[in-house]
Every structure is written in structure tokens, then in C-alpha cells.
Structure 1
């Protein structure tokens, strides 16, 4: 058959299939995959009965008599609600997306196979404790029991029915412990640190002199924004919060292959973060009982991740009926489907929250490759070489050759081979997550910790991703711990790619010892705030964590709000929630005065009056917020696009707050000049004036001529997009799985961090993916919310029932006591052996 007719037949087939789906078949197909929530089900492999209570939001609490039964039931429940998500994730981490989607995802698979996530996870699995292996096995048995009971595509979820049109031969494999461990690599990748900054710096250096590139990466403003830890130092190889600081340690290109490396890294699919990653962060803080109404600590946490459908989180409670050596878990919190245990939450005695610590755990090494060798310390050394075969749905398998130096895989070769030359012609990636670790052990240890010492012992196992951990317990203790495998460099600071052939920038064998990482228990001020800001001032701490922190606008705002609330009296959970919803723009106080001083005429002058007296708040109805953010978008474009390569252009975020804030004090700085206008040299006020006018023109087109009727919520909107089929490009399919849009307050580096990309538009790309406020006086009074809902089944009542509540800034009860869980139960399911 000639190819035009063949493609016409295929298109007709797809259209007919869609017509069937959108007709009466849809209802039957959708409902057939909804899980059984009532009655009794037999689960082969259980040793005793298990009860699962779900409230009206579908959040399950599981009760079992031993730990293996508990985690087996968790695997079953995760599969009931989220198996498509689990199956997709394991294909991501194994570099096997093309088995599902064909050639469209081939670059993604090449990138993952090159880094070898699953190969590392295989090694990691062998090093875990026997207990952890038993729990992973039990979890896998639960998932596979569900799979065995749901053999048909329509039994599993609507996604499989749609996939069957394109890839009718696909059948999911049984779940394995390796599938769970591999997911931790994806989590580590999305929460890595400054790798993109490293590339962007190097690419910027191909266009600009070093002193001008340095302007784009200013140092952390320790004089204005406090770090997390303000006391202590390393003494006798141990961090001591009571110690006085010692003096700090003093430490002091190939454009084409770097561009290829940048392409390769972008090809890695993001499971938790957005493509530009600027909106990825988190807030968490803990307040001691000295400042609370109850006299016991309060803890708040809201991780900022990509906005996706369903949410990356899954709320659950895992409860042993009686705590004993055989069953030691009573934990409630947020889990990942595909991974047993709870990642963030509380036991019956302690609570913890995470934010991304963001240490520099990945470096790019420029290499001199010739044939199958590379140069190292004056000698030619053989490359490590392996073949990776990628199966492709609807096509032939593709085999790639992965090559690596002592510094790691050559990531630039994913996007095409490089020609040997006398200069650097390859880029190797060193990343701590490519070494086996014990993060899976850490999750189970955290889930049964009962005091500060047990918590710290569990945190010591948390290798990657390195996180800021805040802590509170029912006895009144609060604390902070920085865990993670953080490399020690022979030389350099990790801010730019370095020559690999000299050996002088290699990592030392051992990372920073855990006992030297910053840790604080019961600080004098009675609170600890983390928001991806600097952990500690380098004047008191010698080991290099990173030089690329978030710049502290969110953390300082939280600190200021806490002090304000404490000044009024004791805090309660409602006060913690109000701080989570703070939508203040941290740049407004700096930029608005400069904008108001610019001479301006015409209709844009009327729009500028919106900013006169504006307090920086960014609520849904705010006209000033709409105009200010439009001005900011155009200001960045006008200032930097003419000189920076595309990959290094600003997408917004607090680094650019700091850059522009400093440039405002230099009206004649070269960055203000538009190099594309040869007849004149622009200065600061010229660019500010253009930004004000351009923003006015854009918003007039988008929102109308009445400037006072402009609303930030009409621009700043969230569409919950299904991570796979939601971007298919086929409208009817996308409408099956996507939801929204929702108007949401906040901004990229407000405390209510609803991120957007100035390079694109005002649509929300990253969000507080969940929120929780834990009350250690009575954990049953704690509250939480998820971005979407418990279910991954489109059209299920719990598919996105929490989204509107989340958008309003409200929280749901976070029940954990048996009596309140059972009282709130809308469904009860009993699992029997």
C-alpha cells in the first residue's frame, strides 16, 4: 500500500477508535477500571487480615498485624489507584519509554540508558538490609496480586485502553523490588542541584567575558537573608552547634559539546520537576512549643514540584494494630506510588518535613577522547564501553553505544557523536546518585523513628537526594538535619565544567562525613526555617556544600512572617497555614521605586499608576500584580535576550531578582544596552520604559483596555496536565485526562510558590505539590492537602477532588488515630489470605 494511503488508513483507524471511546463505550471502559473499595477481597500471600478504611477523599488507612502484610496491602492499594503512573515511572527509570510510545521518546531513553539509572539501582538493591528487601518483596507481591486480578487493559485504567489503539500488543510485566528502588533515581535527578547553572555559565562564557557572567550569578546575600543554621561549626571532625566558627577554607571550553550535553540532559524526562527547574524548591519550618498556643511544636511543609495529573504524591496511613518487633509502624503522610512506606509525614511520636538542600552533587568534566581512549594525567586510558538495546513500539530496536571515563558517562554523545580534536570534545557526568546508596533503608527507618536520635540515625542513611530535614516530636523537641552524599573536590567549586584530563578536579573517594553536616536541636530562637536558602554562612563552615543556593527571598519572608505572628502572641495551625498562603512579591520593594521614577507618557503611564502604593501582594483579583509581572517578563527579555545564548536566558526566579536588583544601581551597565540597535546605546531607564510600555500593550491584548479590571488570576492559571497522554497533541484524548484551568494566587518566589516561565507565558508550571501542617500536641489535629486527588483514574470522584480546595488555600483533616479514621470512613475493604 502506498505510504499516503497507509497513513490515511491509520488516521482513520485512530479517529474511529476515538469516536468509539467518546461514544457509549467510554462510560463502560472508565468505570470498569475503578477499584473495589467495599466488601472483602482475597489477597494470596497475606498471613492475616488487613482492613483498609478510606474517607470521602479516597485516602486509605491500612491496618495490619505484621509489617509484611502492611506493605503488601500498600502495594495493592497503590496499584488500585495509580498503576498506570507506576508503570510509566518504571519505564522512565529503565529507559524503556519507547516500548510504550515508539520513536517519540527515543531521546529520553537514550539519555536514561547512558546514565544507567537501573544498572545502579540493581547494585543498590543488593546492598540494602534484609529487612528492607523483605518489605520491597511484600510490596511487589501486593502490586502483582492486583495485576493478576486485572488482566485486561480495560480492567487496569483508561490509559491502557487508549494505548491499545496505538500499541495493542503491550502487557505490563510483574512488579519487582527493582522497579521501586529505581524510582529513587528519578527523585534524585529531579532534585539535583546546579547542573544546569554549570552549563549555562559555560555557555554564557562563550559570549561574554568572565566578569559579566559573574554578574549573572551573584553571591548569596547573607547580609539580608538568613541561612538555615546560624550557630555552630565543625570541631574535631564533628559538627557542634555550640562551637564558635573557624576561618573558612579558601578555594578558589568547548561550546559545541556543552550544547550537546545540555540537549542530552534536557532529554531526561522529568517526573517531579518542570523542564526549566527554576520553580523547583520547597518550604518547611518548625516552631517550638515556646511560641505555640498548645505548648507543643507545629511543623509545616510544602514541596514545590511540577504541576501534573495526578499529583506526584499519594496520601496514606500505614498502621500496625499493635506496635511490636513484628510490626513497628504507625505512620501517616505522603508516599510515592511505586515505593513502599511514607516519604513525608509523622509517626505516633515524631514528625518531619523535607525541602531540597540543593548541594552541588553533580559535575561536568570536559574530556579529550580519541577513538576508544581518553586522556588522563598524560596517558591514554581505555573508555568503558557497553551496548544498550532499546525496544521501540511499532519499529525496530535501536542499539546505542554508551561510553564512560573515570568521571562518568559521556552525556554529550546521547545527542550525536563528536569528532576527535586536540581540544575537549566530550563531556562526562559525575553524579552522586550513580553510586549505590541506602535511601530505601532510610525510608523504613524514618517511618518507625520515635525520637531525635532515631531520626538522625535514619537520616544518616538518606544518601540521595540530599534534603533539608526539619523535625519535631511530641515531647517538644524541634531540630534540623542536613543529610546526603555530598562530594569533596580536590580543587574547584563546581560552578563550571572542568578539565577531566588533568585529574586536579577529581572528587575525593569519601564524601563529607555525616557527622560534619550541619545539625541543630532546639535552637534558642525556637524556630527553624528552610526554603532552599543557604544552609550556613561559609564564614563558619569549611566544607563546600554549593555556591548556587536559592537566594532566600522565600525563607526570609517566612522568617519575617513568623516573627510578626509571634509578636502578636502564640501561633496555632491556622497561623502556619496563613504563612503558607503568603503571596508577597519579594522583588516589588526594589523594582517598583525604579519604575515609578522613569519618565513616561501615554497610556502606559496610566497602567503604571496601578503600582503606586502597591503592597506586593499577588492575589487573584490584583491588577497591580498582573501588570508588575508583565513588566518583569518584558524587562528580562529586553535586558538579556540580546546577549545571552538561548539556553542561558532567564526564565525568572529569585536569582534574577538579585541580578536585576544590583543592575538597577548601575544605570549605564552594558547589560542595559540592546546590542541589536547599532545607532544608540540604551541605559537603564530606556529599558525600564520599554518594559512598562510592552507590558501595557501585551495586557491590553490579553485582558482589555480597562487597566483597573485586570486580574492576576486571569493570567496566572493552572492546567493539570496528565504526564503522558495529556500532551498527546490529540484534543479529544487530552480532554479525557487533563483538568482545569484554575486561577491561583502567588508567584514563582513567593511563599505560595506558583511558578511560571517568563520565556513562555504566565501559565503555572510548578506548584506547592502538597501542603501539610502538623500539630504535635495532638497529631489528629494535623491538616493536609494534595494537588489533585488519591485516584489516578480519570472521571473517578477522587481524581481531582482536592484541586479546588488546594487552589483556595484550604486544608483537609489529616486523621491518624484509629477511632477518627474509622469514624470518617466512607468505604471499608477487608483483605484476607
Structure 2
């Protein structure tokens, strides 16, 4: 027995030793790719020595002898810190993820190939101006200098993920950066999903009820739309089956409500306590680890520029120079239209046009799939754009038999100078100069808020399609592509894009709210990203005669929900103080305790408070009860609470209270009945998840910001290293926005919000501040992977200074790049 015990001990010890050695080996290989920020290196492509000074937050200050050298340095810095992110995004836009990740990403690649974004980006290079072409070439050279260094010095393949996935890296090209802009445009638009959802819902509901569940932003209404089925021949009532695309962390496609959002606002000198213009900007996108944004300072020949960049794009997209500041929000401009094309019954390679049947433009494309046979695709284009698969965004559910769906989108052009616009904004010295530079922007559609030393402005950037006044669906639903009145007639002039320059009130801004109320077809959009945050923002801006940098920070971090303040008095009107006393432990007593808490709550979505969780669970359960019997399985698509819908129901706008009656039941349920039942549903859900002690609940426990690694985030053990989770305040309708996932398993997980925040003060520019949601590095073994995340969660910032001495004073490293002679 003793001998057996000794051998078991030896075997166990050996296994432990092997495990430890394996872990040490993995750590050694992974750590080889950690960047060394304090070094001197000779590289090809520079005209003179270049310095990259990393301040104590690891923000690179890039100091070169020429602008081309500075863009080279930005490319090198991006590749040092975010190489895996850059090459993965490039594969996404190329439709080549499946070469690495296998069958899981075939559907994503299929759609990306059909959109043809990468070939369009390649063709767009020659359309850029001379300055931009120089910047693109220099930036690509900088990325490739880092790739050469990795290859020559065996630096762990550049990122630890490279050891887990076989991903050969081709040299970076100027077209790759243009493709990154097109990919950003795809992530910031949700018009496809909105059109499909509106069409599907219109097949189930009458027009007045459609306006309830998919309400227009407040303002003048629109002409009545036809029912979607009425757009097509009555003999073709059936629609093709559809298998929705599985959601994948690498997918760039946005669901309705999950496309771009943001806040940006500015104050003129007359509304500034210190006498200088002020600007706040916090663009919102889906959370990932590492985050989408990367902080950088570029010392151009005309002066410094500092702010937020996206790895792969050689431009500061939201930031400031010494004389100009700019911030961006998603404009929600309707720059996409879906069309239904009728196929020739005699030849499926032809589609109907106003002039008769016409062949598709088509070509073959071979999709390589790791460890599987290649997939051959036939890519087809009509006059209205590429043919999309029926599985994409449930398009098949609204496509009649014998038809296919196509997409017209402003970004589907090679004459796309959007990156030229972004670079030239950095060079602008005045508000007017930046607005002029924005004319080249095609997509994404953005609202750019601007300040110089004495002026403020906001201008909508991006091409606005020219639709005909007789368009059958006004671009709100897919329409027959063979009718001339539904087809685009080019685009409107840049002058037609909304602009606001030096308004009398001295304040300008946007929270994705409706910006103009113009009749179709100059309407800009029917679907906007916000109807709630704008209410709180307006109140905070008008509550002070003058503002400061700190008041702008307070507004950026505000967590009061105007939706909660509006809805609670409506849905709880007949529940407060009306019930009889109930014994402890009963549902009635629990309901009374919840209502007592909510009665004294001011709507602040604070992470440490129980009331936000009770409120959020209540309105979520209430919307589910109101719509499930009317919409059936389609109700799953409405997993975000729409405050305007609930408000319409409880104010009985145009008879909307009919939603409270359950169709299948004999009794007529009242809206008070629905509110009571929904509250009981919510409390039961809370009890199953968090227990019965309502006073001990914390919103932040449910509302955790999920900065997950898009590839390794679901891998056991590894996910604890690569995912960044933080309890957060805010909610769907607060200025410090944290959009909940709506998923049944984890409905309040915070997955979309301000990955970057910046506040710029032009009375004292170097007192400006900024922050990102994770860290500068994409290497999960780096201390800079998540070091900014805790500051971001607490509402803190780091200095946004162009002072070189300040950057050097606490530098974590200085990289000197010297040209090879």
C-alpha cells in the first residue's frame, strides 16, 4: 500500500510539474509579444528620426520631422498595441474570418463578400486627395515596420492570440484604412434591421397600432404608409422562410437600437464661465476588450492634435488641436434602402427594371473555410445594389416568392472620400474650415459638433440620398425595386445637410435626437436614436446661465432617467397607497415594499441603489405583457423597452390603451391590471436571481459593463483574463448611457455605451480631459489592458494636454525610430 501511495504521489507531483511548466511556457510565449516602449529601432520609410513618447497613461505622443513621419509613427503605435484587433477587423471587412475561425463565421463572411466593401475600398484609394494619400501610405509603412520587427526579432507573433489561431498577416495597405472607415459605417447604421422589423410588424398590426410600437420621434407626423403586403401583387402573399443569422461577437451588423449612438454638445463664450468655448463628446459603440478607441497625440507641422483614434485609421476622429475641437454623434441619417427585386420566371439571373428584365452583374467568389471545403459564392448586383441572403436580418421573412432583396447604401461606392474628410478636419483651423472639410464625408453619417476659439456649430456629415416624393414607403420599409418612383436619384447637395452655426442661445448639441423637422424627402430620417436623453440634456444645459468644464463633466456623467420619471407616475398611478395591509412574505407585501421604494426615488440609475433594478425589471415585464399576445414570436425582436410606446398606452394616445387587453382572454384587462401583473412578474424574477431583500439590491450587479474579448471571451479559464466586467450606473435612457442587452438570460448586462469621453476647454486647452473604457493595450498580459477602465467606471478622466514636457515628465517609455540609411 505504501508503494502505491508513493507512486501516486510521484504521479500527482509529475502532473503538477507538467502543468506548471506548460503554464510557464504559455506565459513565456505570450509575453514575448508585450511591446517594449523604451527602445531605439532602425526602420525603413522614415525621412528623419521620430519619437513616440508614452505618457503615464500609455498615450503615445508622436513627434516627427514631417507629417508623413508622424502618420508613420501612429501606424507603428497602433500595431504595437492593437495588432490582433486591426488584422481581425481587416479580415471582417474582407469577408475572410472563416479562414481562421471556421464555419462559425461563414454567414458573416458571406454577407461581407456580397457587400463588396473591400474591393470598393481598394478602388477608392485613387479618389483621395494628395495629403490623404501621403498619410495613408505613411501609416501603412508604420504598421509594416512593426510587422517586420516582429518577424525579425521573434516577438511572439505580435499578439498572444496568434498562437491560438493560424492567422497569416499580409502587409498593411492604404486600402485597408479606407476599409476600416467603411466597416465603421456598417457598425453605425441600423436602417436595414429597422426596415425589416417595420415591414414584419406591419404584416401583423393595423397602421395605428404600428405607430404605437414603432413610434415616430415627437414632432410633425408623416403621411400614412401602405401596409407592407399592399406593395406587392395580391397573388403573392407568401414570403420565403428565413433562418436568422446567429449572433457572433465578431459580427459587424447592428440590430435595431444597437447601432451607433452618442452625445456631443458645445457652449459659446457667452455661456462659458471662463470665457472660452467648451465641448463635450462621448461616442457610443458596442463594448469590447480591447475597446474600439485608442488615445493618441499627433504633432503635425501646423500644431498638435490629440484625441480618440480607431486602430487602422490614421485620423483623430474626436479630439482637439490648439484652436479647434470636434466631437461626433451618429446622425441616424437614412442612408440605406432595401429593395425587393422580381426575378424573371424564365431566367433567375435576370431581374425586373423599369425598362424590362435585365441580367444581374455577377461574379464568383471562393470562401476558404478552416478545416472544411471551400464555399463558392455567386455575388450578384442589381441597379439598386447587391443581392443579400434571405437569412440576413430576417430579410427572407418579408421577401415574396420569386423575389430577392437588394441594398442601396451610400457607402457602396468607390468615390468615397470619407477618410479625406476625417484627415482634413484635423488640419482645419476654424469651424468653417472643418465644416468645409466635412463635405467629402460619404459614410458613416455623423453629426459633428465643433468649437474654435470664438464659435460653435453642428453639421451633419454624410451623403443624403435623393428620394422621389412619390416613393411608396418613403424609405421606411423595403419597396419594389422595379418602380422608378422608388429608386434613388443620386444624393442631395452638402448644403442640404442640417447645420447650426453660432445659435442665439449659445448652446448646440445632439444626443441622437431628431435634429430637423422637414418634409419628406428632405427629412433626413424618420428613425432617430433618442427621444429621452435630450430631455435631460436640455434641462441641464438651461439650468445654468454659464457652464464650466466641470459642469460639462457632470452632464456627461448624469445618471437620471427621464423615462423613469415619466413612466412611473403613469404605470403606478392606481397602485400606490391603494392596497390593503398584507402579511410579510406574501406577493402583495413584496409589491407594497417595491412601490414604497419607487415612490421616493428620483429616477437616478445609480449602481448602488435597488430602485433602478426594480424599475427596469418592471417596465421590461410590462412591455412583454403588452405585446406578446399581439405579436407572438415577433415580440422577441422588441427586447429593448420603448418608453414612447408605454407612454402612448398609458395616456391612451389614439386608443393605444387597447394593448392592455389580452386578446385571447375573455375578460377585458385594464392597464392597471397589466401594471400590477407586470410588477409581480418583475419581483418574482428578481427573487429568483437576487433574493427577496429588495433594500439590498444593487443595480450595478445586474448592469455590469461587459467589455468581452470577441474571440476568447467565451473560453473557460481564459475569459477571466481577457474579459473586463464592471458594475456601472446609468441605463438605456440616461446621458451616461449603458444600453442593456435585452437577452433573456442576462437582460440588463451593459453592452453598448461611451467607450470614449472627452471634455475640451478652450479658455485653458491643456486642462481638457479624456478617457477610454478599457486601456490602450490589446495585450491581456499588459498592465495597460484595463488600467483606464476603473477610472472610466468611476467617472474620472486623464489630462488631454499637448504639453510635451508634461508627457515626458512621467513617461513610461520613449521609442526612437531612426531611418535606415
What is the TM-score normalised by the length of structure 1? 0.88
Give yes or no for contact 1:82–1:337 (8 Å, CA) kept in 2.
yes
| 1:335 to 2:309 alignment | yes
Q: Residue 621 of structure 1 is aligned with which of 608, 617, 622?
A: 608
2:740 corresponds in structure 1 to 756
| 1:263 to 2:244 alignment | yes
1:495 corresponds in structure 2 to 476
CA shift, 1:287, in A, is: 0.6
2:582 corresponds in structure 1 to none
2:144 corresponds in structure 1 to 144
Distance 1:771 1:341 in 2: 17
| 1:674 to 2:628 alignment | no
2:11 corresponds in structure 1 to none
Distance 1:800 1:194 in 2: 33
Give yes or no for contact 1:110–1:414 (8 Å, CA) kept in 2.
no
Give yes or no for contact 1:317–1:331 (8 Å, CA) kept in 2.
yes
Q: Note closer, same or farther for the CA distance 1:223–1:812 as it changes in structure 2 (3 Å cut).
A: farther
Q: Secondary structure at the match of 1:471?
A: strand
2:718 corresponds in structure 1 to 733
Structure 1: 5+ residue stretches without partners: 1-14, 225-247
Q: Secondary structure at the match of 2:592?
A: helix
1:549 corresponds in structure 2 to 528
1:395 corresponds in structure 2 to 372
Q: Residue 806 of structure 1 is aligned with which of 782, 792, 795?
A: 792
Q: Secondary structure at the match of 1:731?
A: coil
CA shift, 1:269, in A, is: 4.7
Give yes or no for contact 1:282–1:304 (8 Å, CA) kept in 2.
yes
Q: Secondary structure at the match of 2:796?
A: coil
Superposition pairs of residues 559-578 of structure 1, within 5 angstroms = 559-566=538-545, 570-578=546-554
Q: Residue 207 of structure 1 is aligned with which of 199, 204, 209?
A: 204
CA shift, 1:329, in A, is: 5.2
CA shift, 1:646, in A, is: 4.1
Q: Note closer, same or farther for the CA distance 1:369–1:354 as it changes in structure 2 (3 Å cut).
A: same
Q: Residue 826 of structure 1 is aligned with which of 796, 812, 819?
A: 812
Superposition pairs of residues 210-359 of structure 1, within 5 angstroms = 210-222=207-219, 253=229, 260=242, 263=244, 269-271=250-252, 275=255, 277-278=257-258, 280-320=260-300, 323=301, 328=302, 330-359=304-333
| 1:70 to 2:70 alignment | yes
Give yes or no for contact 1:41–1:830 (8 Å, CA) kept in 2.
yes
Superposition pairs of residues 608-687 of structure 1, within 5 angstroms = 608-644=595-631, 646=633, 649=636, 651=638, 656-666=642-652, 669-675=657-663, 677-687=664-674
CA shift, 1:537, in A, is: 2.1
Distance 1:707 1:90 in 2: 47
Distance 2:609 2:398 in 1: 57
Q: Note closer, same or farther for the CA distance 1:647–1:256 as it changes in structure 2 (3 Å cut).
A: farther
Q: Note closer, same or farther for the CA distance 1:40–1:418 as it changes in structure 2 (3 Å cut).
A: closer
Deviations along 1:656-708, one digit per CA (max 9) or x if unpaired, are 11111011023873322333x43434231221111110111111222222211
Distance 2:269 2:397 in 1: 64
Q: Residue 701 of structure 2 is aligned with which of 714, 721, 724?
A: 714
Distance 1:758 1:283 in 2: 22
What is the TM-score normalised by the length of structure 2? 0.89
Q: Note closer, same or farther for the CA distance 1:529–1:265 as it changes in structure 2 (3 Å cut).
A: farther
| 1:515 to 2:511 alignment | no
Give yes or no for contact 1:716–1:743 (8 Å, CA) kept in 2.
yes
Q: Secondary structure at the match of 2:629?
A: coil
Distance 1:386 1:734 in 2: 41
CA shift, 1:20, in A, is: 7.5
Give me the CA root mean square deviation: 2.8
Q: Note closer, same or farther for the CA distance 1:263–1:418 as it changes in structure 2 (3 Å cut).
A: closer
CA shift, 1:552, in A, is: 2.6
Give yes or no for contact 1:375–1:501 (8 Å, CA) kept in 2.
yes
Give yes or no for contact 1:278–1:651 (8 Å, CA) kept in 2.
no
Distance 1:267 1:501 in 2: 34
CA shift, 1:732, in A, is: 2.2
Q: Secondary structure at the match of 2:70?
A: helix
Deviations along 1:25-56, one digit per CA (max 9) or x if unpaired, are 23312321111111311122211011111112
Q: Secondary structure at the match of 1:222?
A: coil
Distance 2:532 2:400 in 1: 45
2:12 corresponds in structure 1 to none
Deviations along 1:249-287, one digit per CA (max 9) or x if unpaired, are 999948876874x9369789545x765543741000001
Q: Secondary structure at the match of 1:375?
A: strand
How many residues are paired up?
A: 772
Give yes or no for contact 2:249–2:711 (8 Å, CA) kept in 1.
no
Distance 2:741 2:530 in 1: 18
Give yes or no for contact 2:239–2:399 (8 Å, CA) kept in 1.
no
2:511 corresponds in structure 1 to 531
Q: Secondary structure at the match of 1:485?
A: coil
Give yes or no for contact 1:419–1:425 (8 Å, CA) kept in 2.
no
Give yes or no for contact 1:204–1:645 (8 Å, CA) kept in 2.
no
Give yes or no for contact 1:204–1:648 (8 Å, CA) kept in 2.
no
Give yes or no for contact 2:466–2:521 (8 Å, CA) kept in 1.
no
Q: Note closer, same or farther for the CA distance 1:558–1:255 as it changes in structure 2 (3 Å cut).
A: farther
Q: Note closer, same or farther for the CA distance 1:352–1:652 as it changes in structure 2 (3 Å cut).
A: farther
Q: Residue 157 of structure 1 is aligned with which of 156, 159, 173?
A: 159
1:236 corresponds in structure 2 to none
Q: Note closer, same or farther for the CA distance 1:647–1:180 as it changes in structure 2 (3 Å cut).
A: farther
Give yes or no for contact 1:201–1:648 (8 Å, CA) kept in 2.
no
Give yes or no for contact 1:108–1:268 (8 Å, CA) kept in 2.
no
2:563 corresponds in structure 1 to 587
Distance 2:500 2:398 in 1: 51
Give yes or no for contact 1:639–1:687 (8 Å, CA) kept in 2.
yes
Distance 1:259 1:562 in 2: 50
Deviations along 1:752-808, one digit per CA (max 9) or x if unpaired, are 101103343111111211100001112211000001011011120100001111001
